[in-house]
Structure 1
Amino acid sequence: MQTLNAAFPWLTVLIALPLVAAAVLWLVRPLHKVARPYGLAVSLVELVLAVAAATQFDVAQAGQQQLTELASWIPQLGVSYALGVNGLGLVMVLLAVFLVPLVLLAAWHEQEAVPEGAVLERRQMGFVALVLALEALMVAVFAARDVFLFYVLFEAMLVPVYFLIGNYGGARRRTAALKFLLYSLAGGLIMLVGVVAVYLAGPGGEQGFLVDTLAGHLEVSPAVERLLFLSFFIAFAVKAPVWPVHTWLPDATQQAPAGTSTLLVGVLDKVGTFGMITLCLPLFPQASVWAAPAIIVLALISIIYGGLLAVGQRDIMRLIAFTSVSHFGFMVLGIFVRDQVALTGTMLYMVAHGVSTAALFLIAGFLTRRGGSQQIPAYGGMQRVTPVLAGTFLVAGLASIALPGLSGFVPEFLVIQGTFRVNIVAAVVAVLGVIIAAVYILLPYQRIFTGPKVPELARIPDLGAREKWVVGPLVAVMLALGFYPAPVLDAVRPVAQAVALDQPSSIETAWGPAGPADSGAVLAAGPEGTTK
């Protein structure tokens, strides 16, 4: 794969800025008093720098790695400090740096329930420092081009998330944080075996872990390739999360602060689908085809199972978590049906879901801090008490269930369209998930926001100016992606063309007749099927 080197180390700067800022905040005691404005300022500078870096990206060559940096790190082991982004990596970096300032702004008063003084300052400082450190790791993992470096970052992300849940969450926060850590470490340890094995099976040398070095150059038997694929896929399935290794997610989001859940589900969990696309497909192409039928079944179970469990939830944070299990099922389905249209839809889905789920978690956080409970039955008639909060929650919910004109419609349409081209039965099951989605969003909206008012909550305030500044950009992006998704599609389409299966007949053998053979013709069409 060709790469376009960066004249300026944009990606290193984007990684170093929040990481250094977090360390400075931790070490310089006078900054503890201004941790919140300090963190917000750093995250906004990071966002400006990321946008500046994006202006240096050539969308016409979005399938190539750009803004690349390469330096020897541990040459004896073949490890390099190698960074670069293609179209998918760029949009995921932009998603991460876009959400972080919104999370910090949303959590402005989150720690004020603790005693005043030094304890409050330390808690605020710790939260901001952990979020900034996490931001650096998120940027780094989406930019890593060395498999060993990717693995190190994949594991390092666990540390700030563990402390964000364990130190700042609810009553059972430590249990939830430990469960999250154990699941993630188990998947990571399995992946480590595969990381070592791919180096031994590759050309080796001082840059032996580079993805470009390994892709297409693994000298292994089909059986070994399948085992290597599974070692990576299991780790990514835990992160994604895919049924049946999803059970850590509802517990984590139930106990975590709303902002932590936003970054966890909106960005970090996308590392799972990102890894499937950027590592599993190019490194293990034949094994990916071999495993596709079974993975498609898991994806369909995730879609239906996650949706049904969401319908039955009484805790609003667990409800949003189970909706995400269903949405990740759509993403994994789009990856492994191996159709260019579906794969393009998955990449757009990753961005759209990140925005709509962020809005749901943050707005639910605003509601529960006012009402003092995450239990849906504790509320009623809130539409007349907090109309702005109710309206923005409805918009975010409708975006998540793919209402036309909002961010979820185009990606879900593309995933289902591409799936229909490969297997009609799988597509029909996925459509059932769309129907269930309408129930799991509209039913809780009815219970919380319509009907008679709860007397105890009749005087709580609606969204304030700060909270509107959090929700407003999210609503704007949901509308932008709904009406004009072309910029993101232009960035990710070449990536889909590079990694999607060129000859889908191998999947058709296992899954029945396919639709039209020419995927590229539909991929070149716009979201409504009309030629761009």
Structure 2
Amino acid sequence: MLTITIFLPLLTGLLVLVLPRSRPDLVRWIALFGAMLTLIAAMVLWAGFEPSGGSLQWRMTAQWIPTIGASYDVAVGGISLTLILLTAVLLTVVMVYVLGERDRAHAHAFLFLLLGSGLIGLFAAQDLLLFYLFFEIGLVPMYFIVGIWGGERRRYAALKFFLYTRAGSLAMLLGFLALYLAMEPHSFSLPAIIAAKPLAQAPLASALVFFALLIGFGVKLPIVPLHNWLPDAHVEAPTEGSVVLAGLQLKMGGYGLVAILLPTLPETVARFSWLLIGLALVSLLYGALAALAQSDMKRLVAYTSINHMAYVTLGVAVAGVIGSAQARQLAINGATFQMVSHGLLTGGMFLMVGMLQHRAGTREIDHFGGLIGRMPTFSGLFGLLAFGSLGLPGLSGFIAEFQVIGAALQLSVWIAAITVLGLVLATAVYLRLMAGTLMGSAPQDAKPLSPLSAREAWSAAALATLSVLIGILPMILIAALDGNARILAHF
């Protein structure tokens, strides 16, 4: 079932490529149908998952390149399954959002579906070479999505995105090769590497591998100062591209930190944990302060992603150094919960900004105002997603950040205090955004704005509803994560 879930989007993408060029509407509906089937398959995996043990489930292995010890090995734990479900949700939402779009529909649908297969495969991969293959599959479609359907500076943004991510993936590959060579016999098997920890007694080699993996995952997360590609890529990407880029592609880096870096090199993570904590806090504050300085709503939301994803880095760093296994488990749970919450909330925020830009032709905050009276449905959804992003209790952002801050507080009051300062700054960002768009009165030269279409309202409402659901009933998610986090916390 897991292999079907991985390759179902790709098979759907290949199908749409052979559909008649005169039927872009059929292409969109077939692509949506494939995304919905993928979501159903992911839900079947979720329903059949037994979280209490924390072991890998739905596992399938087959020989791939036996001469070098590489295999097709896929399975899910609570963390990977949660991110697979998030991928299926956002892929379906994006396919609903683009219904009716006719521009190069075949290529557009194929690239997003290929990207969906790459992401699901990456989260399921239990072989490092297979992980790398799926990582690269996630890189190429986004390059074309930004470069073809993006804004005026799309080619520059796409090239910058590609070069940064490619450099990071090569650094990551070097780290994987070092782990492979350290194993006797040589193997890319992630569970075997985690069990053996082959570099535990090699401090210099483990440090080099640590930094190689940190660069690879840190570019995708992104961690300051490896973030420079992100604002341009988001600003120039089409709306649906920004949703997937923020909602899913950044999780490739976060998942790598949680599921690969921490369990394969726990002693090295502990040794460099204060460096990781410093990078996380800098990213947390920088992302919020940079967002405060923006007038372009899309660039503002892009910078808040740096702030939000810094909680993932902080959670991994705290888990690496703190002595209590319970606190480590809390930090890992918080980091993973934040990835899911950020995917829903920031994906939703990019949708809302795209809807405004489509109607008004601008993303500048100063060109809006009084939207509560002019677009009540939009304003309700926009406000709900924004409040979730600033960490309002009852929404998913609060649960995620509370867990990471709670774990950090057990390590250092000062770390927790700086983290809370970052949260306050992020609150200021979103309050300013809501005040400038929803409140007050419309500018005199403001264009009339049409109400949301059914597909727009459904897309945003689905993400907002899920944020409310796991904010009010967080154990839906935590119960699935706990067993996996408990195993990762005992090293």
TM-score range, shorter chain: over 0.9
CA shift, 1:42, in A, is 1.0
What's 2:443 paired with? Answer: 454
**Structure 2: distance between partners of 1:209 and 1:343:** 24
Are residue 251 (structure 1) and residue 243 (structure 2) matched?
Answer: no
- The Cα shift of 1:501 comes to 5.8
Moved over 6 A (4+): none
TM-superposition CA deviations, 1:165-193 (whole Å, max 9, x none): 10001000110010000000111111121
Cα separation, 2, equivalents of 1:190 and 1:438: 35
Q: Distance in 2 between the 1:109 and 1:333 partners?
A: 41
Does 1:140 pair with 2:129?
Answer: no
Q: 2:16 aligns with which of 19, 25, 42?
A: 25
After TM superposition, the structure 1 = structure 2 runs for residues 124-523 of structure 1, keeping only pairs within 5 Å, are: 124-205=105-186, 208-217=187-196, 218-219=198-199, 221-338=202-319, 339-500=328-489
How far off its partner does 1:27 sit?
A: 2.9
Tell me if structure 1 keeps the 8 A contact 2:51–2:483. Answer: no
What is the distance in 1 between the residues matched to 2:298 and 2:490?
37
Encode CA deviations 1:370-424: one digit per residue, 9 max, x unaligned: 1111222222222221111112111101001110111111111111011000111
Contact 1:407 1:479 in 2 (8 A): yes
Q: Structure 1 CA distance, aligned partners of 2:411 and 2:454?
A: 48
Describe the shift of the 1:282–1:72 C-alpha distance in structure 2 as closer, same or farther (beyond 3 A).
same
Q: Could you tell me which amino acid in structure 1 is paired with residue 454 of structure 2?
A: A
Extract unaligned runs of 5+ from structure 2: 320-327
Q: Percent identity?
A: 35
The answer on 1:83 being equivalent to 2:74 is yes
8 Å CA contact retained: 2:288, 2:425: yes
SS across alignment from 1:337: helix
> Secondary structure of the residue that 2:60 maps to in structure 1?
strand
Distance 2:6 2:490 in 1: 33
| 1:414 alignment partner AA | Q
| Inter-CA distance 475–64: structure 2 relative to 1 (3 Å threshold) | same
Secondary structure in 1 matching 2:396: coil
Q: 65-74 or 460-469, which moves further after superposition?
A: 460-469
C-alpha distance in structure 2 between counterparts of 1:343 and 1:100, whole Å:
25
Q: Does the CA contact (< 8 Å) of 2:273 and 2:318 recur in 1?
A: yes
How many residue pairs match? The answer is 480
Q: CA deviation at 1:110?
A: 4.6
For 1:295 and 1:230, locate their aligned partners in 2 and report how far apart those are by CA, in whole Å. Answer: 11
Could you say what secondary structure the match of 1:269 adopts?
helix
AA in 2 matched with 1:369 = H
- Whole-angstrom distance in 2 between the partners of 1:266 and 1:148: 24
CA deviations over 1:65-113 (Å, ceiling 9, x no partner): 10000001000111100000100000000000011111121123455xx
Verify the 8 A CA contact 2:301 2:346 in the aligned structure 1. yes
2-structure distance, mates of 1:153, 1:201: 23
The reply on whether 1:39 has 2:31 as its aligned counterpart is yes
Distance 2:170 2:457 in 1: 42
Whole-Å separation in 1 of the counterparts to 2:191 and 2:312: 25
| 8 Å CA contact retained: 1:385, 1:458 | no
Q: 1:526: which partner in 2?
A: none
* Cα displacement string for residues 257-307 of structure 1 (whole angstroms, at most 9, x for unaligned residues): 111111111111111110111111111111111111001000000111100
Residues 456-480 of structure 1: CA deviation (Å, up to 9, x unaligned): 4352112122212112211211111
Q: What is the root-mean-square deviation in Å for CA atoms of aligned residues?
A: 1.4
CA distance in 1, matches of 2:192, 2:359: 54
Deviations 1:306-341 (A, max 9, x none): 000001101111100110100111111011111221
- Which letter maps to 1:59? P
1:465 alignment partner AA:
A
Residue of structure 2 equivalent to 1:59: 51
Q: Give the match's secondary structure for 1:72.
A: strand
Q: Calculate the TM-score normalised by the size of structure 2.
A: 0.95
Question: How far did 1:32 drift?
Answer: 4.2
User: Relative to structure 2, which stretch is displaced further, 102-111 or 219-228?
Assistant: 102-111
SS at match of 1:397: helix
* Structure 1: gaps of 5 or more residues: 1-9, 112-119, 503-532
